[in-house]
Structure 1
Amino acid sequence: MHKVPIAVLLFVAVVGAIHIQQRYHGQDIYAEPDCSIVTDHTRMFRDISDPTHYWVCADGQEKADYIQCPENHAFMEKEQKCVVWEEWKWVEPYTK
C-alpha cells in the first residue's frame, strides 16, 4: 500500500474546496448576488425561491437591493423585467 504524505492530502483538500467554492458562487444559486464581482450594474438577478422579487447591485454598493415586482407581476430574468403572472413562465436555473 502506498503512503501519501499528509501535505499532499491537505493540498488536494484545499484545492478541491476552492474549486467547489468558485463553482457554486452566489449568482449560480440565485441567492443574493455578490456585488463585489458584478460588473454590469444594470443587470437584475432573479430570486429562484420567490419570483415576485429580484436583486440589483447598484454601483458602489456592497449589498444588493432586494426589489419587489408590482402586484400581480413576477420577474423574468431573460426579459430583465417584471411581467404579469399570465406571461410568467418557469425557466430552469442554469449554472456557469
Structure 2
Amino acid sequence: MYKVSIVLLLLAAAVSAVHIQQRYHGQDIYAEPDCSIVEDHAQMFRDISDPTHYWVCPEGQEKADYIQCPDNYAFMEKEQKCVVWEKWQWVEPYTK
C-alpha cells in the first residue's frame, strides 16, 4: 500500500510538471517574449538580467528583436523607454 501511494504521488507530480511547462510563455520570466502570443506589437519587454536591453515583437516577425539602450541609459518597463541611469530604479519582477 505504501509503495502504491508513493508511485501515485510521483505520477501526480510528473503530470503537474508537464502541465506547468505547457503554459510557459517567455514573458513570464522576462526572457525573450513569445511573439506568437503578443497582441500589442508596440509593447517593449524588460530583460530582467540586463536593464540596458529590452525586447520588441515587430508585427509579422516570429522572433523578438533585442534592442540595446543608448550608452548611460537603462530600460524602464512602466515608462516603456530607456531612461538615464540616475533615474533608473529596480522594480520587483512579477509573473502573469
TM-score scaled by structure 2?
Answer: 0.83
The AA in structure 1 aligned to 2:53 is H
In the TM superposition, 1:16-95 aligns within 5 A as: 16-22=17-23, 24-95=24-95
> 2:62 is paired with a residue of what secondary structure?
coil
Paired amino acid for 1:88: W
Structure with more helix by fraction: 2
**Counterparts of 1:11 and 1:41 in 2: how far apart (Å)?**
38
When normalised by structure 1's length, the TM-score is: 0.83
- Aligned residues between the structures: 93
RMSD between superposed Cα atoms in Å: 2.2
Give percent identity, aligned residues only.
Answer: 76
Deviations 1:17-74 (A, max 9, x none): 122441x421011010000111110000000111000000000100000001011100
User: How many angstroms does 1:15 deviate by?
Assistant: 4.8
Which consecutive unaligned segments of at least 5 residues does structure 2 have?
Answer: none
TM-fit CA distance, 1:11 = 7.4
Deviation at 1:14, TM superposition (A): 3.4
